[in-house]
A and B are shown apart, each in its own frame.
Chain A
Amino acid sequence: MTPEEQFDDLMVRDQRVEARDWMPEAYRKTLIRQIAQHAHSEIIGMQPEGQWITRAPSLRRKAILIAKVQDEAGHGLYLYSAAETLGIPRDEMMRLLHEGRQKYSSIFNYPTLNWADVGTIGWLVDGAAITNQVMLTRGSYGPYARAMIRICKEESFHQRQGYESLVTLVQGSDEQKAMAQDALERWWWPSLMMFGPPDAESTHSAQSAAWNIKRESNDTLRQKFIDATVPQADYLGLRIPDPDLSWNEESGHYDIGPIDWDEFWRVVKGDGPCNAERIAHKTSVWDEGEWVREAADAYAMKQEIRAEVTI
């Protein structure tokens, strides 16, 4: 078998591809794009929640939020490592992110305006992410799939802490309940957009499906998320901001109203509420950290010289 036939055979038998296997250039490129975007999302995703660490309402919530943001840093690092197995250096990914040539999930271009946003992000944004990531644990590229298994285990904590925080909040004062309602209204539609454009308009989906990178369509995953989430909103006594939302007896799913895809594309193309702020913060932190990277290098060099002297 030629390497190409071997690769095709792996696809047909639904086997995993490993880092040293031959793979088509387009497969490699698609994975680099997707894994880098995923890694960047974890890293940029630390910002909206991180802003609330100093303002968390109790020590318990603060400790939980720190642990969650720390997990997101960790998830970013698992994913950068997975991308590196495909031959792209980490510094290169950083540069492409800072130059706006690699993207991150648009959901993180929305602001966190009140404390309820933190719980709502855990519930909806992490909930949507899990729906997508469970599928990715069965993807064809071994290092990516293994990173996703680790991440999914940790994400469960993220969603549950968010939902629990909201259960507590809606049992509070009218103002606290109103905060939760306000957060749901702002995060609901962007969360549904996280699954990407409708199947008919999704440019990458067909090839990714053929390569077992994407095993379920955007619309299927979105529907799965909606069906799981609506009863959770009901339990909280919160109203989902969609007048067309209704249970469809025939299909056994919830029907929703139209999604504003113009908004989605606006935010993807850079014109969301926080796009500029997120990248400005990321690049400034990178620049401010330059001396730390230099110091680490200098220390390593010194250790090396000392070891040589001892020998």
Chain B
Amino acid sequence: MKDGWQLWEVFVRANRGLSHVHVGSLHASDAASALQNAESLYARRGEGVSIWVVESHLIHAAAPYEDNSVEAGGKAYRHPTFYEIPDEVGHM
């Protein structure tokens, strides 16, 4: 048995067809109680149709970038608006 309760990250799918989104974290002693707590804490008003919980220590994170974009700027040509398309040819 582990000492104390683990920290868990909670992900909720608001509706079918949408991705699970991180909503917060909680403490729990095992996965079953983490799921139960997650429902009580983060989805008690029917905020979701599906819940995932992941032990926080299992999440590996990239170092944050100062400009908040992982693949930094300077490559405007990756975006559709970089290209001039004549109005006459319609939406593209």
Interface residues of A (CB under 8 A from B): 10, 15-18, 60, 63-64, 67, 71, 127, 142, 145-146, 156-157, 159-161, 163-164, 167, 228, 231-232, 235
Contact = CB atoms under 8 A, between A and B. Distances in A.
Contacts of B78: 67, 71, 157
B82 A157 contact: yes
B44 interface: no
A160 B77 contact: no
B88 A231 contact: yes
Given A60-B77, A156-B92, A232-B90, A142 B17 contact: yes
A164 B16 contact: no
Contact of A157 (B16, B83, B90): B83
Tell me whether chain B's interface is mostly helix, strand or loop, or mixed. loop
Tell me whether chain A's interface is mostly helix, strand or loop, or mixed. helix
A18 B16 contact: yes
Contacts, number: 60
Nearest to B75: A67
Contacts of A60: 77
Contact of B80 (A63, A157, A167, A228): A157
19 contacts: A60-B77, A63-B75, A64-B77, A67-B75, A71-B78, A142-B16, A142-B18, A157-B78, A157-B79, A157-B83, A160-B83, A160-B92, A161-B83, A164-B83, A231-B88, A231-B89, A231-B90, A235-B86, A235-B88
Q: How large is the interface on B (under 10, 10 to 19, 20 to 34, 35 or more residues)?
A: 20 to 34
Nearest to A21: B16
Contact of B77 (A18, A161, A228, A235): A161
